Amino acid sequence: MSIIVAFANGFISLFQAGATVFIGWIKTIVPLVLILLVAMNALIALIGEKRINSFAKVCAKSPFLRYMVLPVVGVFMLCNPASLTLGRFFPEFYKPGYVASAMEFNHTNMGLFPHVNPGELFIYLGIANGIKTLGLSTTDLAVRYFLVGLVLNLISGWATDFTVRFVEKQQHIRLSRKIGVPNTVLTEV
């Protein structure tokens, strides 16, 4: 009988721990994301969706702008995870690459812009502490981390584009490369 009681207590404890984490999220990350989304939508309303679409069209034409410039601007201004919402202004084909690039940049600019992803600042600070212990400059580390991140953003975005092309062929669809143009089913499966 004691085994069944211990199992039941352990089972309910699992859900109690999940509820505690959920309540923690309700008090911290959920309001933050909600406010960031409201702020971004207000900014979009002030600037105008037409202007933002025009800027996204310009960025969508060049992989360098698409995977290096826009993620830097988005992550710096909107932080993680709100920067991912800028992908909504891209044609469907480029959205996965943008998300891959922006997610990568959320990590590689921690040394210069710690406000971007404070939840993972401990990783950068751990590396920086080791560099400082060796007597080296943490500023050099931060700049190199940032520059390597830019290159990795480009590689990540492009690699995702190649993956999307593969999935298009596999699924017999063609995702739109222009804003406002619907996706196309190439053949019925």
- pLDDT values of the chain reduced to their tens digit, one per residue, 189 residues: 888 888 888 888 888 888 887 888 778 767 776 776 677 778 778 988 788 767 777 887 888 998 988 888 888 777 777 788 788 878 889 999 999 998 888 888 777 777 777 777 778 888 888 999 999 998 898 899 889 989 999 999 999 999 999 999 998 888 888 877 777 776 654
Residue 121: alpha-carbon gap to chain centroid: 16
Q: Which amino acid is at 38?
A: V
* Distance separating alpha carbons of residues 61 and 77, to the nearest angstrom: 22
Q: What is the pLDDT of residue 189?
A: 46
Q: What is the model's pLDDT at position 97?
A: 93
Task: Please state the pTM of the whole predicted model.
Answer: 0.69
**CA-to-CA distance for 176 and 184, rounded, in angstroms?**
7
Amino acid at 75: V
Say how far apart CA 36 and CA 44 lie, in whole Å: 12
Tokens matching residue 168: 């298009």
Instruction: Find how far residue 49's CA is from the centre of its chain.
Output: 21
The enclosing H or E element of 184 equals strand 184-185
Q: What are the C-alpha distances in Å from 122 to residues 13, 110, 117, 169?
A: 29, 10, 10, 41
R_g of the chain, CA atoms, integer Å: 21
Q: Which two tokens stand for residue 156?
A: 């990540």
